[in-house]
Amino acid sequence: MQRSRRTLTDFVRSKLVCLSLCALVSLPLFRVRTQTPAQNPPQRPAAKPPAQAPGAQPAVVGPQQTKHYPILVIAHGNEPFWSLRLGMKGPERLDRVGYPSIVLEPSDVTSDESGAFWTYHAKDAATGALLSVKLVREPCSDGMSETQYTFKVVVEHAQIGTLNGCGQSAPDKFPEFRKKNQLDPADNADADDKDKDKDKKGVLDPITNFKTPVAVAYLNATGRVVLSRGEIKKIVGPSGLELALSHDGKKLLYTRSNSANGTERSIVLYDADTGQAKDLVSGSVHQAFWSPDDSRIAFLKFDGQQWHVWTMTVADPDKTSQLSPLNLTALQGWVSPSVVLATNAENAYWIGEDGNAQQTAPLKEIYGDQFQIMSSDTIRVNPVNADLLLVSAYYLNAPAGAPVDAMGLASTFFLYEVRSKRRVVLGPPDTFTRAAEWSRDGLQIFFTRGVPGKGLLVTNRIFWDGTGVKKSESGSGLVIGK
């Protein structure tokens, strides 16, 4: 009996302990549940984002987009006019009005954390100068139209300087996009050839708007002066140097030597309409050039101690006058109707009507440390852009494999921008070249190819961007009328 009571008592005690523990555990759980509705109100369906207008740019959100930078963008600006192509890998080409296209070698791209702007880095393939392009995603106006562009663009070129403008995505203007998306299926037949040519010169567009000269003059293999107008070629002088053809192609100037040592010369004028030649001026004279309107002639004359620029009018060639007192070694031609370009051993001078130098540039600055300065060099001003010079010069040190003359010198030609001091060697590296001359449209360069005394000399043509080299004439010293 006592054992039964003790068992019942133990059972009751265990039940009481169990109920106490359960009450302690259940109390906080209940409280959490009762607080949950107050802390977490019922969820509402998410609002749908507003629909974007057709053609609108997607909003840039979050750092996760910083790796996706814009490509296939065309940027442009005004004053000066320029444009830039930003392709699959970055900046491809920079174009400026009045200058050849600049091929760019893209490198890396950086971005801010918000993905609002990107900075593309590249290198000028011709000069090695560094370039950066900053694209900022904000509305931009070019000030010449009502178009609102997607990007504000700032181009920084180490030589050219800062260019400001706007940009817009334009995939259809990139050949690789059109080819990939078969927008021009008819062009795919010769796509392989186009790609091979593109590999050679990057992303340059072919030059198609040039004008083939119809009036030229040159020296044939025997040194005779030849005038070519259309299909008619005529020998107009038994010998001569320093040819200059009028802009209408009807009158030719050249220098004829009158003595064995060449100190006595005559400047000869040949008239294609009459077929007659006459001496305009004789003595220690040479290097005659036509003014842009063909009304005047400038030439060099020696006074016994120094060479000076003199001028005459075509209407009255007997009246000559000294233009400038500057001591010079070479006349390089007319820059404008009132300015001529001449050089001595140290400087290039832009000489005005008053005889003073309106502008002076050290030749060491033009030639750099790659070329040596010689009086036989020629410097020609581009006919549509006076800032762009074409210089024929000798290397200080002949490049490996380059042809050399009897003196061991190698010659080529290069372009030089006076304002930016940008210099680009354009002559083919495996060729000895001299006497480079501009065409009247400023897009073509004609030059003498071959080493004097080592075979026949020929005239070749090349476009100002370094493309399109081909033979033009059998002869040397070619000049262009029209």
Q: Is the pLDDT of residue 199 over 50?
A: no
Identify whether residues 221 and 310 lie together within a single domain. yes
Query: What is the per-residue pLDDT for 229?
Result: 95
Compute the mean pLDDT over every residue in the chain, rounded to the nearest whole number: 86
Q: Is the pLDDT of residue 88 over 70?
A: yes
- 256 with 249: CB under 8 angstroms? no
Q: Is the pLDDT of residue 344 over 80?
A: yes
Instruction: Report the range of poorest mean pLDDT among 43-57, 267-281, 468-482.
Output: 43-57
Query: What is the per-residue pLDDT for 287?
Result: 98
Identify whether residues 130 and 236 lie together within a single domain. no
Who has greater pLDDT, 106 or 36? 106
Q: Is the pLDDT of residue 340 over 90?
A: yes
Identify whether residues 177 and 291 lie together within a single domain. no
- pTM exceeds 0.95 for this model: no
Identify whether residues 399 and 468 lie together within a single domain. yes
Last residue of one domain, picked from the residues 201, 225, 256: 201
Identify whether residues 150 and 265 lie together within a single domain. no
Q: Average pLDDT of 208-230?
A: 96
Q: Is residue 13 part of a domain?
A: no
Query: What is the per-residue pLDDT for 202?
Result: 60
Q: Is residue 52 part of a domain?
A: no
- pLDDT grade for 93, boundaries at 50, 70 and 90: very high
Highest mean pLDDT among 5-9, 53-57, 437-441: 437-441
Last residue of one domain, picked from the residues 201, 230, 248: 201
Query: What is the per-residue pLDDT for 184?
Result: 55
pLDDT tens readout for residues 8-27: 344 434 443 333 433 333 33
pLDDT tens readout for residues 351-389: 999 999 999 999 999 999 999 999 999 999 999 999 999
Give the number of domains in the chain: 2
Domain of residue 146, residue span: 65-201
Q: Which residues contact 140 (CB under 8 A, 6 or more apart)?
A: 148, 149, 150, 151, 152, 153, 165, 166, 167
DSSP letter assigned to residue 328: B
Closest of 339, 468, 442, 346 to residue 389, by C-alpha: 442
From the CB of residue 105, how many other CB atoms can be counted at a distance below 10 Å?
16
Query: What is the per-residue pLDDT for 335?
Result: 98
The CATH number of whichever domain residue 293 belongs to comes to 2.120.10.30
Query: What is the per-residue pLDDT for 68?
Result: 77
Query: What is the per-residue pLDDT for 351?
Result: 98
Q: Is the pLDDT of residue 331 over 60?
A: yes
Query: What is the per-residue pLDDT for 473?
Result: 86
Q: What is the DSSP string of 270-305?
A: EETTTTEEEEEEEESEEEEEE-TTSSEEEEEEE-SS
CA 62 to mean position of chain CA atoms: 38
- pLDDT grade for 236, boundaries at 50, 70 and 90: very high
Q: Average pLDDT of 81-87?
A: 97
pLDDT tens readout for residues 293-311: 999 999 999 999 999 999 9
pLDDT tens readout for residues 388-432: 999 999 999 999 999 999 999 999 999 999 999 999 999 998 999
Q: Is the pLDDT of residue 442 over 80?
A: yes
Query: What is the per-residue pLDDT for 346?
Result: 97
Identify whether residues 298 and 350 lie together within a single domain. yes
Identify whether residues 363 and 263 lie together within a single domain. yes
Identify whether residues 248 and 290 lie together within a single domain. yes
